[in-house]
């Protein structure tokens, strides 16, 4: 298993946001994490990436216990993520958003940076080149010098993904990548996510939009902080508990 | 990932292609006039003592050099998103760490000045650690009280610190003011070069990234705490250094010079000059310190009112400060110039 949580629990005061949550993600899978509003999906992400400290339970990444690590340490281990809201450095240009995500590969020490050593200059040249490649791939190269805040919403989301890709993650956590997108943008994004998997990146998606079921190998359904069902998209669609908890009686597939 | 290239980018362009091209050409051609203005200024300031040697104006310029460094060091801390209201206190730590061994142990100024800078850096880094838990207004409030604590410790220090009257008899570095002029001038050039290097290297990028979103920064591996501590330590070094040199220049270290009042003046220099620009603090110090002293000395008693008026006008009309305004003007002028050129080329 690339990612595994065991008995993950998070309490905010008296409110139990996530309770005894187990999830396994194998290398090369696309796993969907779905559930109604406030079910605790994003909290699970924040627990995995160390944004919130866990109340109890463990997070294992590639067999290694990463519970309690700081977010930047988790990123360093190879878990990239996008954000639902505020996914960018708004005052940076599109290009700077991507280059600033190359912190990890290659990393320049403070000494190298301050004294502008050959190693630092070589790293920077490499970063600039790779950043342009990534922007080319996501189709944002033509706006590389625009400020990120001036991009339309769909492209900001795409830039968020580009930024996460620049950290060269083994596991990518996508937080509602389809929200606020129109149907054609959704199609493009689904294609993009699939091609990332084909390039060897394991993907865990939190999503509201049921279109995501087309993409997933496996789906985990969470409601009121607890896992209520797990299986293939078809199994989940057929599960009565899921239908009553999430889709509602009127849901038409 | 070749599938992703199919994304339609035709609707993303917000500025016409030609305008973007111009922008690039402008920044290239603008660099040279900027550099020559800077070089000319440095040359004039380097030769100035020949003309005004020993006069009061020389003292004003020495002060200016000090405050350019201190205001710039405050801005360095601010680019990591930290609105530090204790910069005066760090000057004070540098000053007293130099003054106490100088007065009581008769150490050489060449030892006490580096000592002051190092002391301010270490205290700054140690205090930055707990303060890295605070953000935005809470950080500002925390440092506000930190400033008070430092001043209170100094005034409560008994004979060692000279209490509220200050510690006099700090050994001077030179007898001739011209030497101080060149020392302060040289330190300013070196300090600004270091700060420029920091801001426009990857370290500065990290700091600016944290200021915009610490969550996004962490998700790409930029540690918030480490970089914020680094910013404070770096800024405190220069504040402490200048505090130490300043007290050797004046011969006295007095708590009044390092309190909230001093800090607010420093912040005002930066805000008036432009907080988003590297040269903002220098321009702000020039506006509020040099110009009134040189040209409006008759106003002396009314200076606070003039300053208040300047501040209000700037706050309302140019939130990006004077440098921001200059940038907007030069952008507009060069755009008009370009447009004229283009239409001139047309048949």
Look up the CATH number of the domain holding residue A208: 3.40.50.300
Q: What is the ipTM of this complex?
A: 0.81
User: 31-50 in A: which are within 8 Å (CB) of B?
Assistant: 49
Same domain, A141 and A191: no
Give the chain B residue nearest A104 (alpha carbons): B221
Residue A103 lies in domain: 89-167
CB A204, CB B16: distance < 8 Å: no
pLDDT tens readout for residues A46-66: 888 888 888 888 888 888 888
Which residue among A167, A182, A209 closes a domain? A167
Average pLDDT for chain A: 83
CB B207, CB B79: distance < 8 Å: yes
- Among A70-79, A92-101, B120-129, B159-168, the minimum mean pLDDT is found in B159-168
B1:A103 CB<8 A: no
pLDDT at B20: 37
pLDDT at A123: 86
pLDDT at B299: 66
Number of domains in chain A: 2
**What's the DSSP call for residue A104?**
S
The three-state secondary structure class of B166 is coil
CB-nearest to B218 from A72, A86, A188 is A72
pLDDT tens readout for residues B89-126: 999 999 999 888 887 888 888 889 999 999 999 999 99
Closest by CA position to B124, among listed B95, B145, B152, B93? B93
Give the Cα separation of A238 and B93 in Å (integer).
70
Residue with tokens 């490499």: A126
Which residue among A139, A167, A195 closes a domain? A167
Same domain, A180 and A162: no
Pairing of strands A56-61, A171-175: unpaired
Maximum average pLDDT range among A19-23, A149-153, B91-95? B91-95
pLDDT at B297: 66
Q: Tell me the mean pLDDT in the region A198-222.
A: 85
pLDDT at B32: 63
pLDDT at B300: 65
Pairing of strands A56-61, A3-12: antiparallel
Contacts of B222 in chain A (CB under 8 A): 72, 100, 103
Contacts of B80 (CB under 8 A, 6+ apart): B207, B208, B210, B211, B227, B228, B230, B231
- Residue A63 is encoded by which pair of tokens? 């067999």
Record the pTM: 0.81
Contacts of A138 in chain B (CB under 8 A): 4, 7
From A187's Cα to the closest Cα of chain B, the distance in A is: 10
Map out the domains of chain B as residue ranges: 52-258
Give the Cα separation of B274 and B283 in Å (integer).
8
A139:B198 CB<8 A: no
pLDDT at A104: 63
Confirm whether A83 is domain-assigned: no
Contacts of B103 (CB under 8 A, 6+ apart): B167, B168, B169, B170, B171
Instruction: Give me the long-range contacts of A152-158 (CB less than 8 A, separation at least 24).
Output: A152/B11, A152/B12, A153/A180, A153/A181, A154/A180, A154/A181, A154/A182, A154/A185, A155/B12, A156/A87, A156/A88, A157/A82, A157/A87, A157/A181, A157/A189, A158/A189, A158/A192, A158/B7
Give the Cα separation of B237 and B116 in Å (integer).
9
Confirm whether A253 is domain-assigned: yes
Same domain, A222 and A161: no
Same domain, A93 and A65: no
Same domain, A173 and A160: no
pLDDT at B10: 35
pLDDT at B31: 62
Confirm whether A84 is domain-assigned: no
Same domain, A159 and A178: no
Give the Cα separation of B328 and B316 in Å (integer).
16
Give the Cα separation of B313 and B292 in Å (integer).
16
Same domain, A173 and A252: yes
The three-state secondary structure class of B91 is helix
Confirm whether A56 is domain-assigned: yes
Same domain, A124 and A158: yes
Contacts of A162 in chain B (CB under 8 A): none
Same domain, A110 and A51: no
Closest by CA position to A172, among listed A198, A154, A143? A198
Same domain, A230 and A253: yes
- pLDDT above 80: residue A204: yes
Exposed, middle or buried: residue A62 (CB in 10 Å: 0-12, 13-18, 19+)? middle
Using CA atoms, how far residue B14 sits from A134, A185, B105, B240, B331, in Å, is 21, 19, 66, 46, 18
Confirm whether A115 is domain-assigned: yes
- The count of CB pairs under 8 A between chains A and B is 132
Same domain, A161 and A178: no
- How is chain A split among helix, strand and coil, in percent rounded to 5? 40, 25, 35
pLDDT tens readout for residues A226-240: 888 888 888 877 777
Residue A223, phi then psi, degrees to nearest 5: -145, 130
Sheet containing A171-175: order of strands: A79-81, A171-175, A202-207, A30-34, A218-223, A226-231
Give the Cα separation of A81 and A48 in Å (integer).
10
B7:A113 CB<8 A: no
Q: Tell me the mean pLDDT in the region A145-168.
A: 85
Contacts of A146 (CB under 8 A, 6+ apart): A93, A94, B12, B14, B15
Closest by CA position to B72, among listed B194, B177, B212, B216? B194
Which residue among A145, A167, A189 closes a domain? A167
Per-residue pLDDT of chain B (347 residues; tens, 9 = 90+): 333 333 333 333 333 333 333 444 444 445 666 788 888 888 888 777 777 766 778 888 888 999 999 999 999 999 998 898 888 899 999 999 988 888 788 888 888 999 999 999 999 999 888 888 888 889 888 888 988 898 888 888 777 777 777 777 777 877 788 888 889 999 999 999 999 989 988 889 889 999 888 888 888 888 888 899 999 999 999 999 999 999 889 888 888 888 888 888 888 889 888 888 888 899 889 888 877 777 766 666 777 777 788 778 887 888 788 888 888 888 888 777 766 654 444 43
Contacts of A247 (CB under 8 A, 6+ apart): none
Same domain, A175 and A68: yes
- The end-to-end CA distance of chain A, in Å, is 31
Give the Cα separation of B126 and B232 in Å (integer).
10
């Amino acid at each position: 298993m690339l990612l595994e949580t065991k008995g993950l629990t998070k309490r905010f005061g008296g409110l139990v946001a996530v309770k005894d949550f187990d999830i396994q993600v194998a290398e090369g899978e696309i796993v969907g994490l779905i559930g109604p509003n406030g079910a605790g999906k994003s909290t699970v992400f924040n627990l995995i990436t160390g944004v919130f400290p866990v109340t109890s339970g463990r997070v294992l990444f590639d067999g290694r216990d990463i519970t309690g690590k700081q977010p930047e340490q988790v990123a360093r281990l190879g878990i990239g993520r996008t954000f639902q809201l505020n996914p960018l450095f708004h005052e940076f240009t599109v290009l700077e958003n991507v280059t600033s995500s190359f912190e990890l590969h290659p990393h320049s020490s403070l000494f190298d940076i301050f004294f502008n050593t050959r190693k630092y200059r070589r790293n920077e040249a490499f970063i600039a080149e790779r950043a342009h490649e990534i922007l080319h791939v996501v189709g944002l190269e033509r706006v590389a010098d625009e400020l990120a805040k001036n991009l339309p919403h769909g492209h900001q989301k795409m830039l968020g993904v580009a930024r996460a890709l620049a950290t060269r993650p083994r596991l990518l956590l996508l937080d509602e990548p389809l929200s606020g997108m129109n149907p054609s943008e959704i199609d493009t994004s689904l294609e993009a996510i699939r091609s990332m998997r084909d390039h060897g990146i394991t993907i865990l998606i939190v999503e509201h939009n049921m279109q995501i079921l087309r993409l997933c190998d496996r789906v985990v359904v969470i409601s009121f902080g607890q896992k209520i069902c797990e299986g293939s998209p078809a199994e989940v669609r057929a599960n009565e508990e899921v239908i009553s908890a999430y889709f509602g009686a009127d849901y038409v597939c | 990932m070749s599938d992703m290239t199919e994304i339609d980018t035709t609707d993303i362009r917000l500025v016409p292609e030609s305008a973007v091209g111009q922008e690039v050409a402008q920044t290239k051609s603008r660099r040279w006039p900027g550099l020559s203005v800077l070089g000319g200024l440095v040359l004039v300031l380097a030769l100035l003592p020949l003309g005004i040697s020993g006069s009061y104006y020389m003292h004003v310029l020495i002060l200016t050099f000090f405050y350019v460094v201190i205001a710039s060091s405050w801005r360095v801390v601010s680019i990591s998103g930290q609105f530090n209201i204790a910069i005066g206190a760090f000057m004070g730590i540098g000053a007293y760490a130099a003054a106490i061994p100088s007065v009581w142990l008769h150490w050489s100024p060449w030892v006490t000045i580096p000592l002051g800078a190092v002391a301010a850096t270490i205290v700054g880094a140690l205090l930055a650690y707990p303060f890295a838990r605070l953000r935005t207004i809470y950080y500002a409030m925390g440092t506000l009280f930190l400033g008070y604590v430092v001043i209170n410790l100094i005034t409560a220090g008994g004979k060692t610190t000279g209490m509220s009257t200050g510690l006099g008899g700090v050994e001077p570095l030179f007898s001739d003011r011209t030497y101080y002029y060149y020392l302060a001038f040289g330190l300013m050039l070196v300090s600004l070069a270091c700060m420029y290097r920091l801001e426009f290297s990857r370290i500065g990028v990290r700091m600016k990234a944290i200021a915009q979103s610490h969550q996004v920064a962490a998700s790409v591996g930029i540690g918030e705490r480490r970089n914020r501590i680094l910013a404070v330590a770096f800024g405190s070094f220069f504040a402490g250094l200048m505090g130490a040199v300043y007290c050797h220049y004046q011969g006295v270290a007095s708590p009044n010079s390092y309190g909230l009042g001093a800090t607010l003046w420093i912040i005002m220099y930066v805000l008036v000059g432009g907080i988003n620009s590297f040269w903002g603090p220098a321009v702000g110090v020039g506006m509020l310190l040099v110009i009134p002293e040189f040209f409006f000395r008759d106003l002396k008693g009314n200076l606070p009112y003039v300053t208040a008026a300047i501040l209000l006008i700037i706050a309302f009309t140019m939130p990006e400060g004077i440098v921001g305004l200059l940038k907007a003007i030069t952008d507009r002028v060069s755009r008009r110039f370009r447009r004229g050129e283009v239409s001139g080329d047309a048949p």
